[in-house]
Amino acid sequence: MDTDLTAAYDRCRELHRRHGRTYYLATRLLPAWKRRHVHALYGFTRYADEIVDRTEDLPPTERAARLDDWAGRFLAGLHGQPVHDPLLPAVLHTIAVFDLDRDDFASFLKSMAMDLTVTSYRTYDALLDYMEGSAAVIGTMMLPILGSADPAAARESARHLGFAFQLTNFIRDVAEDLDRGRTYLPDEDLAAFGVTRADLLAARRRGRTSEPIRDLVRYEVTRAQAHYVAAAPGITLLDPASQSCMRTAYALYGGILDEVAAQGYDVFVRRATVPRRRRMAVAARALLTPTGTPVVVPGPPPAGDLPPVHGVDSRAAYRAALG
C-alpha cells in the first residue's frame, strides 16, 4: 500500500481504538489482514457521526453543509476521482477489495443527515426506518469482511445484530442524547408508560430516574434483547476465524444491558459500562470456544415481569422484534 493509504488505515484504527473500546477489543481477535478493513468501516461511520454530533456549536445549516461536502468527496471517490481526505482512501479501498454494496453507504449517510433535523420518532417502526440506515447496513457492510459460507442466511442475523447494538447504545445514552436535543425511545413507548420528554429532562437534571422511566427502560431492554436473540444464529454461520470476534462483541454489547439492569434500569445515575476485567474474560472465553458452538442468548422476560402498562407487554416486544 502507498503511504497515503497506510496513513488512512492508521487514522481509522486510531478512531476505532479511541472511541469504540468494546468493538475494538473484539476486532483484535480477527486475523490481522481483516482488522484494518473493520477499522476502515468504523472510521467511516465514526467520522460522519463526529460531523453530526461534535459540531453542536455550529448552526444546523453549517453542519449539514459539512456532511454534504464530506459525502460528496466520498461519492466522488467511488467514481474513481482523486480524494484528499485523512481516512476516505482506506474506506474506498475496503469497498473495492470486498465489492461492498454502495447502497448501504448511501443509506447510512441518509440516516446521518436525519440526525440534523429529526429529534424524536413517533413509533418503533419509524425508529426502525432510521436504524435501517444507521445500524442494519453496518451489519451487512461487515458481513463480506467477516466472511460466511452462507452469506444469504447470515444476512438477516447481521441486520438484527446492527439493530441490537444500536438499541443498546440508545438505552445507555439516553442522557447524552437528551443533551443533544434528541430522544430515540419512541414517543408511543413514552406515552404508554406515562413518561414525557419533560420527565426525562427532569431525571437528567436530578441524576436519578423515576419508577415509570425505570419500567420504560426495562421494556426497551427487552426489545433490544429480542434482536440479540434473532442475531445469534448468524454468528455460527461466519468464517471460523471471525467467530470469536463476533462472540465477544455480542457478549460485551449485551453486557451493557446487564449493567443497565444491575443499576436498576436507571440510565441517569451513571453511564453503564462493562468492567475491564469482564471484557478481558469474555474475550478469552470466546477464543477458547470451539467454532460452531451456539451462542448463549438472553432469555425471554419471565412470566409476570413488566406486566402490561396501557397495553404495552414486554413479551410482545420479543414477538414483534422477531417477526
pLDDT in tens, 235-262: 999 999 999 999 999 999 999 999 999 9
Same domain, yes or no: 125 and 176: yes
Q: Residue 142 and residue 38: Cα distance in Å, rounded?
A: 7
pLDDT (mean) for 21-40: 94
Same domain, yes or no: 139 and 35: no
Residue 50 has pLDDT above 80, yes or no: yes
Residue 313 has pLDDT above 70, yes or no: no
Mean pLDDT of the chain: 91
Same domain, yes or no: 27 and 162: no
Cell triple for 322: 422477531
pLDDT (mean) for 91-108: 96
Residue 310 has pLDDT above 70, yes or no: no
pLDDT (mean) for 97-108: 96
Looking at the structure of the chain, the number of domains it has is: 2
> For the chain, give me the number of helices (H) and strands (E)?
16, 0
C-alpha distance from residue 45 to each of 41, 75, 105, 170, 320 (Å):
6, 15, 9, 16, 28
Same domain, yes or no: 270 and 207: yes
Element (DSSP H or E) covering residue 103? helix 102-114
Q: How confident is the model at residue 316 (pLDDT cuts 50, 70, 90)?
A: confident
Same domain, yes or no: 66 and 197: no
Q: Residue 147 is part of a domain; what is its CATH number?
A: 1.10.600.10
Which domain-ending residue is among 101, 117, 133? 117
Q: How confident is the model at residue 314 (pLDDT cuts 50, 70, 90)?
A: low
Same domain, yes or no: 247 and 295: yes
Residue 21 has pLDDT above 70, yes or no: yes
Which pLDDT does position 322 carry in this prediction? 64
Q: What angle do CA 87, 90, 94 make, to 5 degrees?
A: 145
pLDDT (mean) for 74-89: 92
Which pLDDT does position 320 carry in this prediction? 67
Which pLDDT does position 141 carry in this prediction? 97
Contact 111, 133 (CB under 8 A): yes
pLDDT (mean) for 174-193: 95
Q: What percent of the chain has pLDDT over 70?
A: 92
Q: Residue 206 and residue 204: Cα distance in Å, rounded?
A: 6
Which domain-ending residue is among 117, 148, 166? 117
Same domain, yes or no: 95 and 140: no
Same domain, yes or no: 182 and 205: yes
Please tell me whether residue 168 adopts helix, strand or coil conformation: helix
Same domain, yes or no: 108 and 146: no
Contact 139, 75 (CB under 8 A): no
Which pLDDT does position 207 carry in this prediction? 95
* Structural domain span for residue 150: 120-323
Same domain, yes or no: 271 and 250: yes
Which domain-ending residue is among 63, 91, 117? 117
Same domain, yes or no: 229 and 107: no
Same domain, yes or no: 82 and 129: no
